[in-house]
Structure 1
Amino acid sequence: MTQTFKVKAAIKPYILDFAFDAGTSRGVLKDKQTHFIRVQSPVFPEIYGIGEAGPLKGLSPDDRPDFMDRAMEVLGELENIPFSTEPTKILQILSEAGLEEFPSLRFGLETAMLDLVNGGIRKILPNRFYEYGTEIPINGLIWMGEKPFMKQQIEQKLQQGFDCIKMKIGAIDFESELALLESIREKYSKEQITLRVDANGAFNPNEAMGKLNRLAKLGIHSIEQPIGPGNGKAMAELCRTSPIPIALDEELIGIHDIQEKKALLEDLKPAYLILKPSLVGGILATKEWISLAEDLGIGWWMTSALESNIGLNAIAQLTSSLNPVLPQGLGTGMLYRNNVSSPLVISTGKLKYDKHKSWSIPDWD
């Protein structure tokens, strides 16, 4: 039976420590600031919902000095709102809460509220991943670094049974990156191992096509964001002429109006979209992008934005609920020394929710 309720909400900063120096084209990551959101209500006694708001440094719209101040204001305002126990109405209220500039905060609130009304058992949405343990195929992520370190990661992922490898490129010299990819292709055909690359916008528009032509000889599945966002004309030309299918990632950030989203996809015509819910605005915004993409014959997959297992769990359940057909970018649970203990397990290139394992949420006080 649907009823209304009010919540008490709190937010807690948490520093995630990387188990290694994680290299990207935007620099090396050693730790990540994230925030856990807890909601409680007398209507749901003795339980709580938890979500995660984790702005990605240098990329998220809500990576800003006043994040905590604004988050506290938002939580205070939400405590005055009568919420429905109907999940779709919860998502609608949060979509109208004026959080366009705070997409990770919206996603964290969505997660926490849905967790609460589902019984505080870390279930977010109806999905086979949580309910039946259905595995989600994922890609093995190779971080940037010195050539020996990248080679070590590749060998490790292949030994672990991944058949889809994604390599970040653009930090070391291109010839070394090409050699690493060639070393995989010498041993494994494209039928055996799918190779994805992610440039994070590192290519100069004037040199991008030359690099794409060289990468294409290695049977690359796709390249994420070869040039930086905002180069509409150059990106449209690359999407039209590239020998490698292009996937948009950073290009999607900060676009909220559905007509603007549609116009972007129609103008650029990418092969794929890479969707990070905490960057594009949460659950409803992600579903909107996917609906538009599928109408235009554009493929998609989901990735985390380096969240802890709390955020990763929510993204995995959202992904499962949308019946994905491609390997997803959800292999970030092993990145941190101090991640939240959870039922999320990676085995032979797949992410699984193992209900024999339990959650261990950090103490709030």
Structure 2
Amino acid sequence: MARVKLRAARLTQIAVPLRAPLATAHGRIHTREGVLLELEAHGGARGFGEALPLAGFDLESPTHARAALADAARQLVGSEIDSADAGLGAAARDLARAPAARAALDAALRDLEAREIGTSLAASLGANARARVPTALLLGAEHADGAAAEARRAVAAGFRVLKLKLGTNAFDADRARVAAVREAIGNEVALRVDANGAWSEATAAAHLEALASLDVELVEQPLASEALEALARLRRASPVPLAADESVRDVASAERVLRFEAADVLVVKPAAVGGLGSALSIARRAREAQVEVLVTTFLDTAIGRAGALHLAAALPPGRHAAGLATGSLLADDLAPGPVPKSGAIALPSDNGLGFSPDPAALTRLTRGETLEVCA
């Protein structure tokens, strides 16, 4: 990257409603709140990132994220930056306890960097980026009949991997929902579940046996995030592959999961681990340990989902589809894409992320005043 001088940074508070509340073991999600970050170089190029912290992942609050990004912007605007990593290093102190904010700055810097050199974000992250990334679809319906109907629509739209959240009800109700979806989609479509750490080791063992009988391909985070010894024991006896999700919060926590041999798969969310750079480091360590990495998102806007899409495209393909098709759960969005088609998402053709926020959508979703830091 040629040295770039930042002319301005803009921090816009946003609130994005969901079409319907999404039940998880951490609670119901009604709205995604946080900050859209825009960086502008003196030459006019712009880069975007977002910080929308979500409960249950040891992230900062949206207010803390905004304050951390404001401090980082004051540190960086007016200075010359020769790489995204250098920019993150300069702002490291401001972002030390704000992983969602760090992820937003990381994405915005890398988006700006890719646009400056005239390439896609994926190509800047990995030399052999894929053009399309297969993805699972998260089903939002809470009851068996609704989940089955939603699953049939998803399969008709071309999805070959579906996902359900568990742990919000008694397991009998959860099992009935999984069984209803399996009956609706047959045996040719993969089905995974996410317990968000809701189970104990003793109950998880019994639940896994039941889920194996329903041909579940993967169970994400069956136990609490810190219970790595228990997760390792559970994995050794499990009839279903297990994935660590909330347990993967940064490079150090990912290394602990690998050291304990506690998971068959690491779920990596760029917004949870401090950004795309940290996610790449985790992927490298997992590859050395011969553990698969599965890139997913929170309920991000199109900006956050696009960053995760480019990351997934830059990594070698694994056995399990990425988890990027959550846009349909939002009632509104910052931009129209990226949109799944036939169970996969194509990378945008333009440089960087491939698109920018739609101005009209940003106006609709803005809450409060935009903070602008200028050189």
The aligned counterpart of 1:334 is 328
Report whether the alignment pairs 1:293 with 2:289: no
**Partner residue of 2:297 out of 300, 304, 316:** 304
The aligned counterpart of 2:191 is 195
CA pair 294-322 structure 1, distance change in 2 beyond 3 A: same
Provide the rounded CA distance (Å) in 2 between the counterparts of 1:28 and 1:80. 41
Provide the rounded CA distance (Å) in 2 between the counterparts of 1:341 and 1:122. 20
Structure 1 residue 128 displacement after superposition: 11
Report whether the alignment pairs 1:349 with 2:347: no
Structure 1 residue 275 displacement after superposition: 0.6
- Unaligned stretches of 5+ residues in structure 2: 371-375
Report whether the alignment pairs 1:8 with 2:1: no
The aligned counterpart of 2:270 is 277
**Partner residue of 2:221 out of 214, 222, 225:** 225
Q: Aligned-pair RMSD on alpha carbons? A: 2.8
**Comparing 272-281 with 139-148, which one deviates more in the overlay?**
139-148
TM-score (norm 1): 0.87
Provide the rounded CA distance (Å) in 2 between the counterparts of 1:19 and 1:187. 23
Q: What's the secondary structure of 1:22's corresponding residue?
A: strand
**Partner residue of 1:70 out of 46, 64, 68:** 68
User: Any idea what the Cα deviations from partners look like across 1:122-161, whole Å, max 9, x if unmatched?
Assistant: 94341799x9992211001122523333233222212222
Q: Which amino acid aligns with 1:203?
A: W
CA pair 358-245 structure 1, distance change in 2 beyond 3 A: closer
The aligned counterpart of 1:22 is 22
CA pair 98-296 structure 1, distance change in 2 beyond 3 A: farther
CA pair 234-343 structure 1, distance change in 2 beyond 3 A: closer
Report whether the alignment pairs 1:212 with 2:201: no
User: Structure 2 matches for 1:306-325, cutoff 5 A?
Assistant: 306-325=299-318
Say whether the 8 Å CA contact 1:125–1:318 is kept in structure 2: yes
Q: What's the secondary structure of 1:318's corresponding residue?
A: helix
CA pair 92-283 structure 1, distance change in 2 beyond 3 A: farther
User: Any idea what the Cα deviations from partners look like across 1:258-309, whole Å, max 9, x if unmatched?
Assistant: xx64343121331001110110111121111111111111112100111100
**Comparing 354-363 with 25-34, which one deviates more in the overlay?**
354-363
Q: Which amino acid aligns with 1:317?
A: H
The aligned counterpart of 1:181 is 178
Q: Which amino acid aligns with 1:119?
A: R
**Partner residue of 1:160 out of 157, 160, 164:** 157
Say whether the 8 Å CA contact 1:303–1:330 is kept in structure 2: yes
Say whether the 8 Å CA contact 1:99–1:105 is kept in structure 2: yes
Say whether the 8 Å CA contact 1:142–1:167 is kept in structure 2: yes
Say whether the 8 Å CA contact 2:251–2:281 is kept in structure 1: no
Say whether the 8 Å CA contact 1:246–1:272 is kept in structure 2: yes
Say whether the 8 Å CA contact 1:212–1:242 is kept in structure 2: yes
Structure 1 residue 59 displacement after superposition: 2.8
CA pair 58-203 structure 1, distance change in 2 beyond 3 A: closer
TM-score (norm 2): 0.85
Q: Which amino acid aligns with 2:19?
A: A
Say whether the 8 Å CA contact 1:22–1:143 is kept in structure 2: yes
Say whether the 8 Å CA contact 2:130–2:313 is kept in structure 1: no
User: Structure 2 matches for 1:105-120, cutoff 5 A?
Assistant: 105-119=101-115
Provide the rounded CA distance (Å) in 1 between the counterparts of 2:186 and 2:224. 30
Provide the rounded CA distance (Å) in 1 between the counterparts of 2:355 and 2:262. 43
Provide the rounded CA distance (Å) in 1 between the counterparts of 2:278 and 2:347. 25
Say whether the 8 Å CA contact 1:201–1:225 is kept in structure 2: yes
Provide the rounded CA distance (Å) in 2 between the counterparts of 1:7 and 1:206. 56
User: Structure 2 matches for 1:7-156, cutoff 5 A?
Assistant: 7-42=7-42, 44-45=43-44, 47-63=45-61, 65-79=63-77, 81-84=79-82, 86-87=83-84, 89-90=86-87, 93=90, 96-97=92-93, 99-119=95-115, 123-126=120-123, 134-143=131-140, 145-156=142-153
Structure 1 residue 168 displacement after superposition: 0.9
Q: Which amino acid aligns with 1:147?
A: A
User: Any idea what the Cα deviations from partners look like across 1:64-109, whole Å, max 9, x if unmatched?
Assistant: 653333332222122264311x455445556x45524211111111
Say whether the 8 Å CA contact 2:68–2:94 is kept in structure 1: no
Say whether the 8 Å CA contact 2:296–2:323 is kept in structure 1: yes
Q: What's the secondary structure of 1:57's corresponding residue?
A: coil
Provide the rounded CA distance (Å) in 1 between the counterparts of 2:202 and 2:17. 37
The aligned counterpart of 2:239 is 243
Q: Which has the higher contact order (CA 8 A, sep 6+)?
A: 2
Aligned pairs, number: 356
